Each structure stands twice: as structure tokens, then as C-alpha cells.
Amino acid sequence: MHEMSLCESVVEILNSEARRQGFARVKTVWLEIGVLSGAEPEAMRFCFDAVTKGSLADGARLEIVQTEGQAWCLNCAKTVAVVQRFDACPECGGFQLQITGGDALRVRELEVE
């Protein structure tokens, strides 16, 4: 599953942050998921629980923050909202879109102890 490897990389981020900031446990993770990232929030929750077992984030709460998709339309020469990758521009119906936001997955905030 795609989400499994995404969650594994989240745990890697947590581990390196723990080394850098010197904390031992993670209580809550705020994870930003762009609607265009291809990650399903429900699947992420499921995998997160599985992947964090025995790690520094065992039993941690996962708060998912979904971010909107954004693209730059070459035709309209402006930023438009997109719901899916390969969608047409909602303004002009064209397909000359470059995704500029909402395709990322990142750890926004941590509650640690």
C-alpha cells in the first residue's frame, strides 16, 4: 500500500526530529496532506497506527490537515483551484496546468514529551 511507505517516511522524520530536538516521545502528529498527494486520510490513519507500533510515536494521535489543490494555468495566467490531478482548469477548461500546491505531505506540528 502506498500509504504504508508514506507513514514509514513520517516515522523517519519523527526519528530525526527526536534526535535533533532531543525528545523521547511523540504524543500528537499534525500531518498536512494535500488532496493531490494521492494519500487517503483513512488509510493514513490505519497505516500510521501499524507503522508507529514500538516506535517513539507508539499510541500517538494523528491529526490530519487536508490542504486544497492549486495549479497555475498557463492560459489564464493565474492560480486556480483543482480537485484532482489532470483536471481541466475550472476557468478556461484547458489542460495547461502546473500543480503548485496541495500535492505534498508534510509534518506540520508535533506534540512531544
What is the binding site for Zn ion (CB under 5 A)? 73, 75-76, 89, 91-92, 94
**CB neighbour list of residue 90: distance below 8 Å, 6 or more residues apart:** 80, 81, 82
Query: Which of 59/94 has CB closer to Zn ion?
Result: 94
Cell of 29: 502528529
How far does CA 35 lie from the centroid of its chain? 8
Cell of 7: 507513514
Question: At its nearest, how many Å lie between Zn ion and the CB of residue 91?
Answer: 4
Query: Which of 62/82 has CB closer to Zn ion?
Result: 82
* Residue, CB closest to Zn ion: 89
Do residues 18 and 10 lie in contact, with contact meaning Cβ atoms separated by under 8 Å? no
Question: At its nearest, how many Å lie between Zn ion and the CB of residue 25?
Answer: 47
Question: At its nearest, how many Å lie between Zn ion and the CB of residue 71?
Answer: 9
